[in-house]
């Protein structure tokens, strides 16, 4: 990627077909991914709380913890499935771009196509399409979506960690867990 203009051109082309489906899938993936990240960060604190202050007796607490773990596992499976859907959109985009690229080449003069520079441009363009998952147009789209998704997850994790920060409430003396007072560390 050499310039901002190339990036915007690729992202605009990616959004041309089935835009609503791609945006909806990406937003759902962001929500599920953020929920999973929040779950991973908050699960240990929740388990500690359930063990220290059980809602149900003995074995029932273990079953509640296992049920919550299964919810987290389900979020992980759903997150992976949604990411696979986005990867399929990116893969399809690469191959949808081949006729666009070919149409542009057919508008060139034959002398330009046969020139060394013309052949180099054509080779680079085909490399960007066929090797797209590594460093071509597919990688540009994948990396952009991943950067946005990861940024949202970092914000969610920071919020969850801030909520469960035991030092957040000075009245509690460092023994607070998400607004719930826990046993002192003595």
pTM of the model: 0.69
Cα–Cα distance for residue pair 145/26, rounded to 1 Å: 8
Q: Is the pLDDT of residue 124 over 70?
A: yes
pLDDT at 88 over 50: yes
Rg (CA), the chain: 25
Determine how many CB atoms are found less than 10 A away from the CB of residue 81. Answer: 11
Using the predicted structure, report yes or no on whether residue 114 has a pLDDT greater than 60. yes
Whole-number average pLDDT of the chain: 80
The DSSP bridge pattern shows strands 180-181 and 176-177 to be antiparallel
End-to-end CA distance of the chain: 56
Rounded-to-integer distance, Cα 125 and Cα 97, Å = 10
**Chain-centre distance for alpha carbon 31:** 9
Q: Is the pLDDT of residue 73 over 80?
A: yes
Check residue 74 and give its pLDDT.
94
Please give the Cα distance from 74 to 82 (Å, whole number): 12
112-121, 152-161, 169-178: lowest mean pLDDT where?
169-178
Question: Do 98 and 106 form a contact (C-beta atoms < 8 A)?
Answer: no
Write out pLDDT tens, residues 8-65.
Answer: 887 888 888 788 888 899 889 988 988 898 888 888 888 888 888 877 777 788 888 8
Q: What is the pLDDT of residue 137?
A: 80
């Amino acid at each position: 990627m050499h310039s901002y203009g190339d990036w915007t051109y690729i992202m605009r082309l990616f959004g041309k077909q089935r835009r609503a489906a791609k945006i909806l899938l990406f937003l759902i993936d962001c929500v599920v991914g953020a929920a999973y990240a929040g779950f991973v960060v908050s699960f240990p604190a929740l388990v500690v709380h359930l063990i220290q202050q059980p809602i149900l007796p003995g074995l029932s607490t273990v079953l509640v913890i296992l049920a919550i773990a299964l919810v987290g596992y389900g979020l992980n499976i759903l997150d992976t499935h949604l990411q696979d859907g986005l990867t399929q959109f990116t893969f399809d985009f690469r191959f949808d771009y081949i006729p666009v690229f070919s149409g542009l080449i057919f508008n060139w003069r034959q002398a330009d196509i046969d020139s060394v520079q013309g052949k180099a441009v054509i080779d680079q363009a085909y490399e960007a399409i066929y090797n797209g998952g590594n460093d071509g147009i597919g990688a540009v789209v994948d990396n952009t979506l991943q950067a946005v998704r990861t940024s949202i997850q970092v914000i969610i994790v920071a919020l969850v960690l801030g909520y469960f920060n035991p030092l957040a409430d000075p009245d509690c003396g460092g023994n607070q867990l998400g607004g719930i007072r826990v046993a002192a560390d003595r």
